[in-house]
């Protein structure tokens, strides 16, 4: 079970809030927590919104409640016995007593399983990049054997028990890969499956988890959330939501992806050591079972389904230097000059929120950055690119022309009664674009034009979980409404893909505005498939030895979830590393796919020379080694783009049959041939 925040950790988060938010924003964040709870109660039934003092009192009680808890799986309704079945090409549809189940063979090793009670859902999947009609449908056969229906491809056998509609997966010779235990079920909008977990097999994936590499034995919430300051080992959920895991059975490994964007729970051997339960809170229950037997095949199939990263620009593989914030053009140029004078390679400098005017996106603070185009030009002549941060919130102010234009163009999220939603972030109350609307993505993309024309090389999408200033789950109310590509959905269903769709809009904008250059986008939030649009990092980590280790395991599990271009803030974002810790972190970071030194406001300087000559010499040596290895690293990125294999890999990925590698936490492979230990 994910750990609960300790009193010490809660105090640290409270102190972080006090340090970073002014008094009006702190007060506004308290009020917003109440407003969010009220909005979720008011529009619980959108056709008949409620109101009044009684509802406000109820909101006060509810404002700090955690996510709803589903009923126990034993209490779920079940499909019942199979009444009839129909086989059509690569699809088997089962009509059961209480529901229907549809099995579709996307490929010989990929089976989609759908549970529906009325008709199949026709809304698009944001995760699946290659829908069924784009696959070369494999040949399938169906036969009845007693009470079993046998659905076969050349590599997989799916065995359906007609008496209770349970589903077993076997290999072509009939050996069990993954067996059912409780079947499929639902309770209200909740839906779930309970299946057997092979004993002694580690589990990996789930994107971004503050955990050791092996995820077995715990329960995980699938929900994109800003932890609001420092996170520690065991904290869940974090910034990204990836409902995907790998089970490393030595001879018959498999992966399972739950294609559902709503809040979900993955119990991976926590409640019962030899079973796993996947539960979604709303929407159609649809999962993909992917068979290996080797994990490289699974990852190739999974990324064929959900998409692979495109090759990034070469400069993005170099060192990125950042902090919250370099607050003037003069300071940025001074940092760049130090790198060149000290002969330390560096390609990229990041601009955090202080380059903006009053934290308003797509603006410049002209007092601190009077001539941004000239600054960018000077830096580029010295071999540097600039990346600027962009948050999703647009200041809700009649004097803000961007807000006025957005209201006129009808691009912001609304409540069911048409009221435009607004909530507090850095500039104060903000409107939030609906990135699930194609029209809004185009509108948003055009806003980048002045920054691109000024020469900004790439963009860093932050606060896009989306994160708002409020207690507990500080985000947009679940009852806010989204376009969802014309299908309409509430925020409860679209929350997990908000950051991904923002990154999508950003990447497409860069592609349109600079068609002859590879775009670079960095995103804090993401859902399965984000690798098609952006690189990612592990968020606001801490300057500690624990986080040095977490950065490695988190990056490796991100890679095993399809996100090859990933890394952690070198040196730690919050706190002050010791000279030894910083040196060790540079030594590790130099071999991770995304290599950025970054630190928070109010912390000491964290450039390679900030800890004295001895540490500078160590940092310089390993940064130079990174650049010497760029041809090799570039090849590893090409492999990731072509096959889905991660750039940074657990040792066992290259040596799956060696059981001794399955528990290694302090070694990893960079590409095919380089072992780091």
Give whole-number Cα distances, 442 to 499, 502, 636, in Å: 16, 11, 33
Strand 674-676: give its sheet, edge to edge: 648-650, 668-670, 674-676
Q: How far apart are CA 454 and CA 314, in angstroms?
A: 21
Q: What is the pTM (predicted TM-score) of this model?
A: 0.95
Q: Mapping DSSP to helix (H, G, I), strand (E, B) and coil, where does residue 39 land? A: helix
Outline where 261-394 has alpha helix (H).
295-306, 329-341, 372-381
**pLDDT tens, 70-95?**
999 999 999 999 999 999 999 999 99
Handedness of CA 259, 263, 266, 271 (dihedral sign): negative
Residue numbers in the chain where pLDDT is lower than 50 = 1-5
Outline where 23-172 has alpha helix (H).
23-42, 53-62
Q: What pLDDT, on the 0 to 100 scale, is given for residue 13? A: 54
**pLDDT tens, 607-618?**
999 999 999 999
Peptide bond into 237 cis (omega under 30): yes
Handedness of CA 337, 340, 345, 347 (dihedral sign): positive
Q: What pLDDT, on the 0 to 100 scale, is given for residue 4? A: 46
**pLDDT tens, 122-173?**
999 999 998 888 888 899 999 999 999 999 999 999 999 999 999 999 999 9
Kindly state the tokens that stand for 623.
Answer: 């940064």
b/e map 355-384, b = 16+ CB within 10 Å: bbbebbbbbbbeebbeebeebbeebeeeeb
Half-sphere exposure of 123 (CA within 13 A, CB side): 20
DSSP 512-574: HHSTTS---EEES-EETTGGGT-EEE--S-BSSHHHHHHHHHHHHHHHTTT--SEE-EET-SB
Q: How far apart are CA 620 and CA 608, in angstroms?
A: 7
Work out the widest C-alpha separation in the chain, in whole angstroms.
80
Q: How far is CA 99 from the centre of its chain?
A: 32
Cβ distance 663 to 628 under 8 Å?
Answer: no
Domains, the chain, with CATH or none: 7-62 (no CATH), 73-306 (2.60.40.1760), 348-646 (3.20.20.80)
Cβ distance 310 to 668 under 8 Å?
Answer: no
Give whole-number Cα distances, 582 to 177, 324, 521, 585, 649, in Å: 44, 18, 26, 5, 23
What are the residue numbers of the active site? 462, 465, 540
Pairing state between β 489-490 and 423-425: unpaired
Helix (H) or strand (E) holding 449: helix 449-453
Q: What percent of the chain has pLDDT over 70?
A: 96
Q: What pLDDT, on the 0 to 100 scale, is given for residue 473? A: 75
Q: How far apart are CA 148 and CA 180, in angstroms?
A: 14
Q: What pLDDT, on the 0 to 100 scale, is given for residue 192? A: 98
Cβ distance 524 to 498 under 8 Å?
Answer: no
**pLDDT tens, 564-587?**
999 999 999 999 999 999 999 999
Number of residues that make up the chain: 677
Query: What burial class does residue 602 get, using C-beta atoms within 10 Å of its C-beta: 0-12 exposed, 13-18 middle, 19+ buried?
Result: exposed
Q: How far apart are CA 274 and CA 159, in angstroms?
A: 20
């Amino acid at each position: 079970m994910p750990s609960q925040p300790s009193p010490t950790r809660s105090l640290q988060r409270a102190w972080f809030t006090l340090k970073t938010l002014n008094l009006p924003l702190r007060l506004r964040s308290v009020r917003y927590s109440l407003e969010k709870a009220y909005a979720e109660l008011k529009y619980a039934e959108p056709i008949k919104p409620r109101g009044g003092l009684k509802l406000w009192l109820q909101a006060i009680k509810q404002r700090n409640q955690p996510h709803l808890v589903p009923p126990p799986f034993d209490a779920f309704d079940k499909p019942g016995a199979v009444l009839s079945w129909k086989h059509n090409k690569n699809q088997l549809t089962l009509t059961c007593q209480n529901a229907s189940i549809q099995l579709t063979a996307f490929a010989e090793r990929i089976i989609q399983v759908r549970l529906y009670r009325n008709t199949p859902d026709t809304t698009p999947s944001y995760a699946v990049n290659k829908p069924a009609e784009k696959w070369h449908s494999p040949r399938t056969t169906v036969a009845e054997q007693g009470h079993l229906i046998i659905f076969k491809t050349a590599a997989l056998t799916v065995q359906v028990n007609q008496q209770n509609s349970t589903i077993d997966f076997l290999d072509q010779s009939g050996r069990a890969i993954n067996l059912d235990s409780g079947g499929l079920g639902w309770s209200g909008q909740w839906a779930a499956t309970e299946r057997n977990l092979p004993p002694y097999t580690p589990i990996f994936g789930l994107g971004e988890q503050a955990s050791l590499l092996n995820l077995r034995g715990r329960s995980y919430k699938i929900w994109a959330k800003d932890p609001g300051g420092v996170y520690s080992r065991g904290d869940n959920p974090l910034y990204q939501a990836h409902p995907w895991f790998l089970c490393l059975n030595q001879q018959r490994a498999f992966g399972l992806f739950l294609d559902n964007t709503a809040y979900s729970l993955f119990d991976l051997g926590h409640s019962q050591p030899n079973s796993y339960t996947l539960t979604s809170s709303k929407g159609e229950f649809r999962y993909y079972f992917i068979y290996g037997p080797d994990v490289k095949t699974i990852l190739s199939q999974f990324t064929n389904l959900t998409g692979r990263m495109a090759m990034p620009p070469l400069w993005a593989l170099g060192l990125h230097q950042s902090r919250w914030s370099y607050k003037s053009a003069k300071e940025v140029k001074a940092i760049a000059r130090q790198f060149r004078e000290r002969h330390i390679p560096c390609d990229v400098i990041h601009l955090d929120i202080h380059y903006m005017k009053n934290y308003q996106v797509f603006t410049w603070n002209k007092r601190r950055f009077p001539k941004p185009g000239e600054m960018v030009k000077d830096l580029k002549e010295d071999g540097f690119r600039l990346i600027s941060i962009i948050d999703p919130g647009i200041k809700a102010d009649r004097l803000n022309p961007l807000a006025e234009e957005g209201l006129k163009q009808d691009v912001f999220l609304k409540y069911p009664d048409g009221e435009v939603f607004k909530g507090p972030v850095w500039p104060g109350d903000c409107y939030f674009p609906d990135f699930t609307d194609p029209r809004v993505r185009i509108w948003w993309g055009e806003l980048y034009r002045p920054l691109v024309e000024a020469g900004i090389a790439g963009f860093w999408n932050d606060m896009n979980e989306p994160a708002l200033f409020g207690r507990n789950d500080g985000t947009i109310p679940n009852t806010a409404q989204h376009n969802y590509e014309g299908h309409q959905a509430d925020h409860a269903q679209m929350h997990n893909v908000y950051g991904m769709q923002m990154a999508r809009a950003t990447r497409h904008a860069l592609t349109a505005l600079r068609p002859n250059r590879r775009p670079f986008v960095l995103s804090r939030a993401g859902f399965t498939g984000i690798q098609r649009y952006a690189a990612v990092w592990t968020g606001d980590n801490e300057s500690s030895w624990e986080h040095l280790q977490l950065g490695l395991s988190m990056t490796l599990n991100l890679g095993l979830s399809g996100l090859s271009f990933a890394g952690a803030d070198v040196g730690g974002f919050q706190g002050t590393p010791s000279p030894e810790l910083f040196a060790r972190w540079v030594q590790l970071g130099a071999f991770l796919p995304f290599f950025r030194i970054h630190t928070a406001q109010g912390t000491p300087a964290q450039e390679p020379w900030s800890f004295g000559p001895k540490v500078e010499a160590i940092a310089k040596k390993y940064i130079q080694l990174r650049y010497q290895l760029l041809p090799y690293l570039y090849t590893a990125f090409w492999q990731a783009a072509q096959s889905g294999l991660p750039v940074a890999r657990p040792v066992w990925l290259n040596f799956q049959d060696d059981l001794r590698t399955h528990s290694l936490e302090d070694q990893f492979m960079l590409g095919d041939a380089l072992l780091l230990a």
